[in-house]
Amino acid sequence: MSFDEKLKKMQKIKDQAKLGGGQDRIDKQHDQGKLTARERIDLLLDPNSFQEIDSLSRASGEKDDQSIVGDAVVTGWGEINGRKVCIFSQDFTVYGGSLGEVVGKKIVKIMDIALKTGVPIIGLNDSGGARIQEGVTALAGYGDIFLRNVRVSGVIPQISVILGPCAGGAVYSPSITDFIFMTEQTSQMFITGPDVIQAVTGEKTTPEELGGALSHNSKSGVAHFASKNEEETFEEVRRLISFIPLNNLDSSPKRQSSDNANRSNDNLKKIVPDDESVPYDVREVIEEIIDDGDFLEVHEHFAQNIVVGFGSFNNKSVGIVANQPMHLGGVLDINSSRKASRFVRFCDSFNIPIVTLVDVPGYLPGLDQEYGGIITHGAKLVYAFAEATVPKISIILRKGFGGAYDAMGSKHLAADINYAWPSAAIAVMGAGQAINIVSRKELEKAKNKEKKREELINDYRDRLEHPYIAAAKGYIDDIIEPQQTRSKIIKALDLLENKSESLPPKKHGNIPL
């Protein structure tokens, strides 16, 4: 066989691999509103940047006509905005994207390459789970992937994009990764499907209700982003990559903004009402102070009483954690504590400074919260902030009461720079609650209880609820005018750029899971 003939043979096999499960199955994929594995890669990565590996893989011992070249996953590396990433894309046209020996080995190899080269790993998931025909071999493949998910956690960012029905073992790997993206109506995640649930528990449900994008974004909190279609999903992935470093030794990418570092935030006094009982949208505060108002919110639909996400100050990427008075008054509860603590730990893992905006009335009371473990879940946020060694800057906008004040990036949890607005109220609890406890007998004796109550509340506020006591003790580094907020944060970030702090030597801490 001549060299030209060998080239033609190679090209024929590679062309065969590009067809996956064949044109009929590709057409069916398109009919369902889904792209193919390779189309997804081309849409996500920079044009012509994808370098595929293992396109010729197939099951050992099988004849050419009994296996599909490349099997049910496409792997390789490429670029997003000129920055390297490794990627695998499951091919639903081949055995429903199921994971067998070949698929497992291909994914493991590209994960190992990502770790060795220090670049993010992105998984485009569209899989029915383990390949039943391969038995324990398929389970071994999942185990090998899970091990790497854990080993690379905190070393390189791991991003999972759910683009079809993912069941059983196919959902555990994404759940270990840092961020999960889902598309509405076409992606689902569940351990057991609707039929099994009905057979075991008698509950009737649909795949979308059970494990759809909106369910996991708003109810379970398993997923972090939901988009209307695959194109929007990939745009959000590209946007996320623009905010985060390539690995734990890398610095955050420089953002491109001409926003004035000394810009005054005159709108803040209009956004935040003086009356602590009047709600406002803390996103407006965030968008007012960051560069160009460009805020990438994470977990937008879950635990909406706290807001987390990425922005930048003077072109430097930061993570932002903020209480949201628009929902439950901004209290901390089980879900908001889980949400914020996971985000704080991601930022700390990858050297992303954390800016905390505080307006918290306390922890949410109630039987459901206590029985659900608010003590343990609330402690996660305390642990996350105390453990974090990245630059930490906190601003108390309006109130910080009780243990929630401590948990929200206080000086007592080793925050570096803590500011408060003159409107800030810092105390064990709000004046109304406090008077009910400490002045109960005095109120009982009063002839005009309402007038006496008002006097006691005003006295409490004058003596104990203002920010000047905390400032006098050094718990607050300065009380600033609201319009100075952006410039003060930027100057603090400049100071802390080369911050060096380490934890006591240990294998790892025992976070209250």
CA-wise closest residue to 188 among 169, 214, 150: 214
3-state secondary structure (DSSP) of residue 326: coil
Question: Among 17-31, 56-70, 127-141, whose mean pLDDT is lowest?
Answer: 56-70
**pTM of the complete model:** 0.94
Read off the pLDDT of each residue in 226-231 and give the average, rounded to a whole number. Answer: 96
* pLDDT level of residue 164 (50, 70, 90 thresholds): very high
Nearest-angstrom CA–CA distance, 332 and 339: 10
- Are the C-beta atoms of 336 and 306 separated by less than 8 Å? yes
| pLDDT for the residue 456 | 72
**Annotated catalytic residue: which of 20, 104, 129, 168?**
168
- Bridge partners, residue 90, by sequence: 73
| pLDDT for the residue 459 | 72
- Are the C-beta atoms of 383 and 359 separated by less than 8 Å? no
3-state secondary structure (DSSP) of residue 275: coil
Read off the pLDDT of each residue in 268-288 and give the average, rounded to a whole number. Answer: 94
Both tokens of 295, joined, read 């805020």
Read off the pLDDT of each residue in 185-189 and give the average, rounded to a whole number. Answer: 94
- Are the C-beta atoms of 168 and 140 separated by less than 8 Å? no
Active site residue 403: yes
| pLDDT for the residue 163 | 96
Nearest-angstrom CA–CA distance, 340 and 317: 18
**Annotated catalytic residue: which of 59, 402, 403, 446?**
403
| pLDDT for the residue 432 | 67
Neighbours of 257 (CB within 10 A): 16
- Are the C-beta atoms of 154 and 126 separated by less than 8 Å? no
Q: What is the pLDDT of residues 36-86, one digit of tens each?
A: 999 999 999 999 999 999 999 987 655 545 578 999 999 999 999 999 999
Average pLDDT, whole number, for the chain?
92
- Bridge partners, residue 232, by sequence: none
34 has pLDDT over 80: yes
479 has pLDDT over 90: yes
Active site residue 509: no
Nearest-angstrom CA–CA distance, 391 and 407: 16
- Are the C-beta atoms of 205 and 211 separated by less than 8 Å? no
| pLDDT for the residue 431 | 66
Per cent of the chain over pLDDT 70 is 96
129: left (phi over 0), alpha (psi -120 to 50) or beta: left
What secondary structure, in 3-state letters, does 44-90 show? HCCCCCCEEECCCCCCCCCCHHHCCCCCCEEEEEEEECCEEEEEEEE
Read off the pLDDT of each residue in 214-236 and give the average, rounded to a whole number. Answer: 97
| pLDDT for the residue 30 | 93
Q: What is the pLDDT of residues 290-307, one digit of tens each?
A: 999 999 999 999 999 999
Q: How far is CA 340 from CA 162, 321, 327, 377, 442, in A?
A: 23, 7, 15, 11, 41
CA-wise closest residue to 182 among 299, 83, 36, 85: 299
Both tokens of 124, joined, read 């485009």
Read off the pLDDT of each residue in 333-351 and give the average, rounded to a whole number. Answer: 98
Neighbours of 120 (CB within 10 A): 23
- Bridge partners, residue 417, by sequence: 393
Active site residue 404: yes
| pLDDT for the residue 440 | 73
- Are the C-beta atoms of 212 and 222 separated by less than 8 Å? no
Active site residue 471: no
What residue ranges define each of the domains in the chain, with the CATH number in brackets?
3-56+67-243 (3.90.226.10), 268-424+466-496 (3.90.226.10), 429-464 (no CATH)
| pLDDT for the residue 7 | 86
Question: Among 6-15, 71-80, 217-226, 417-426, whose mean pLDDT is lowest?
Answer: 6-15
**Annotated catalytic residue: which of 170, 404, 425, 492?**
404
Nearest-angstrom CA–CA distance, 157 and 350: 8
| pLDDT for the residue 132 | 86
CA-wise closest residue to 48 among 74, 15, 82, 18: 82
284 has pLDDT over 90: yes
* pLDDT level of residue 441 (50, 70, 90 thresholds): confident
Q: How far is CA 190 from CA 32, 200, 328, 400, 410, in A?
A: 20, 15, 29, 39, 38
Read off the pLDDT of each residue in 120-124 and give the average, rounded to a whole number. Answer: 98
10 has pLDDT over 90: no
Neighbours of 294 (CB within 10 A): 16
Read off the pLDDT of each residue in 371-392 and give the average, rounded to a whole number. Answer: 98
More confident residue, 486 or 57: 486
Per cent of the chain over pLDDT 90 is 78
- Are the C-beta atoms of 395 and 286 separated by less than 8 Å? no
Contacts of 480 (CB under 8 A, 6+ apart): 395, 419, 420, 421, 488
Question: Among 60-69, 135-144, 385-394, 494-503, whose mean pLDDT is lowest?
Answer: 60-69
| pLDDT for the residue 376 | 97
Read off the pLDDT of each residue in 430-440 and give the average, rounded to a whole number. Answer: 71
438: left (phi over 0), alpha (psi -120 to 50) or beta: alpha
What secondary structure, in 3-state letters, does 367-423 show? HHHHHCCHHHHHHHHHHHHHHCCCCEEEEEEEEEEHHHHHHCCCHHHCCCEEEECCC
* pLDDT level of residue 176 (50, 70, 90 thresholds): very high
